Amino acid sequence: RAFAGVLVVVYYVFAVFGIWLFEGAIKPPPEMSVPSNTSTKNITSNYSMECGTYEQLGYWPNNFDDFAAAIILLYDVM
């Protein structure tokens, strides 16, 4: 029970500091609704594919813009 209390306090402190330091650092791209090009020109000579786009990987929900997103980000990192 004490461990849960300590964990809540640590999450709260890290979330507040994260919001204070990194709020607005990650912005979604303006062309979010444009589908990606999946043609064969993305294939290189060693048959590996390029990494997904910013939208496909879904990075922008993981940020410190508000308290709820900060808590979720800290849970993902844990």
CA distance 37 to 31: 13
Instruction: Name the range with the highest mean pLDDT among 8-17, 30-39, 68-77.
Output: 8-17
pLDDT the model gives residue 52: 66
CA distance 52 to 75: 24
User: What number is the average pLDDT over the span 64-78?
Assistant: 86
Radius of gyration, alpha carbons of the chain: 18
pLDDT the model gives residue 75: 86
Q: In the chain, what percentage of residues exceed pLDDT 70?
A: 58
Contact between residue 18 and residue 69 where contact means Cβ atoms under 8 Å apart = no
Q: Is the pLDDT of residue 22 over 80?
A: yes
Q: Which of 76, 72, 71 is nearest to 10 (CA)?
A: 71
What is the pTM for the complete model shown? 0.58
CA distance 75 to 78: 5
